[in-house]
A and B are shown apart, each in its own frame.
Chain A
Amino acid sequence: MQSKRLGWILLAPTLAILFLFGVVPFFYVVYVSFHSWNPFAVNPEMIFNGADNFRQIVFDQAFLNSVGVTVMFVFFAVVSELILGYFLAQAFMRDFPGKAIFRTIHTLPLIMAPIIVGSVWKLMTTPSIGIIPHYLDEWFGITMNIGTSVPAAFATIVIMDIWHWTPLVTLTLIAALVSLPPDPFEQAQIDGAGKRQIFWHITLPMIAPAVVATVFIRLMDALRTVDEVWMLTGGGPGSATRFVGVHIFKEVFPKTNYGYGSTISVIVLYLTIVTCWLLYVTMLAPRNKRD
């Protein structure tokens, strides 16, 4: 009994901080989302407007567009990171000359702040000045201009995200692969299973929880991407890379549309939870049921 009380006492500061900085702001955002509130309006007060903001969001073409480009971005970035991360993890499971150095270099992007990553990529991709457009033009005759080309801007952001976050996926998958017992693999080899069969029927099912956890983390991160995109394209050209995070930022900060911005935040949180739940239901729940 005493140890239980001690446990709560020790937990109390953490819970208090979580409550103050996590729960209270969340409920405040939900509260604001039912109001019209722009402090630079003639009437700067918060005015309750029921579900008007939620109704508006359904017809808000700019928001729907931002959801569309975000989904595309998340799909291309996360899937690429997962595939690339798996192959790199497999590579790092083997010995090769310079492995330690390569692994260190490969992990370096992880320690960079997103805003720095955005700045670096901006320098590298500025039309005609950056190293990437320069060599694309010199070696292949390809003109790359992220200021005018929607595909170029979008692809650059996806590649930048892959460069930045694949090391995280690699590290997670290395941890999962290292922990796998050797017996099933040996038995499968004795039974004559091919590499592909071993991957689909043994490796993948066994590392599935790690894969799902990694996808969850990357999915949530990718859905709220702002800094890198802000630095690189500012959401352009036009609204081609105006992801949900950038859209919310523009709505809440420069436009000071706090009410509607809060509504978008709530909806995006809801969509994120639903997406993660669907992922869990389709990938992990059946397996847990079987177990």
Chain B
Amino acid sequence: MPHDHHDHDHPAHSPPQPDDKVHSYYQILGVALKELLIEKGIVTADEVRSAIEKRDQITPAHGAAVVARAWSDAGFRTRLLTDANAAVAELGYPMTTTRLVAVENTADVHNVVVCTLCSCYPRELLGLPPAWYKSRAYRARIVHEPRAVLAEFGTQLLEETEVRVHDSTADMRFLVVPRRPAGTESLDEAALAELVSRDSMIGVAVVRQP
């Protein structure tokens, strides 16, 4: 499928054009598919709208609430690490179509998550994946030079820290439980959740002391 008749550059993963106009054949194709599928009764416009609205409501705050609970409640932490699907459902975030595995960072082990083949991600807890997570560069490099990749994200690990890279699949997603920073003993769960970034739950960042 050559693109040599395009009159503008069209590199992979290019952001959408800023003028809101339709530039790509595939944008037109997407509109055509939606119209046809609605006309044939395979989907409804309401269903699509509702799916988009639900997706927009999921932010990394869901995952941060899970992490803050694990930091605050030893029983929940144990349940999260043994049966993450059941544990996150307790907080009202059911993941019914994929297995969820929570991996905990410790003084000795740092975990980081990728989907080398595509873009699988715990969307129910973190929302849609960031563009870099879907990029070829991240997917290619994180598995063989994780320390170099983490350094690009500003995360320097000690030489003796073991790095574990977890490759997601269509059936299995991972949530990193970052280390709770020192000096947060007096913070309640809501304040703790504020500290937990999306990137720390993917594993490319750590949670900083407030």
A and B associate in one complex: no
Query: Which residues of chain A have a CB within 8 Å of any CB of chain B?
Result: none
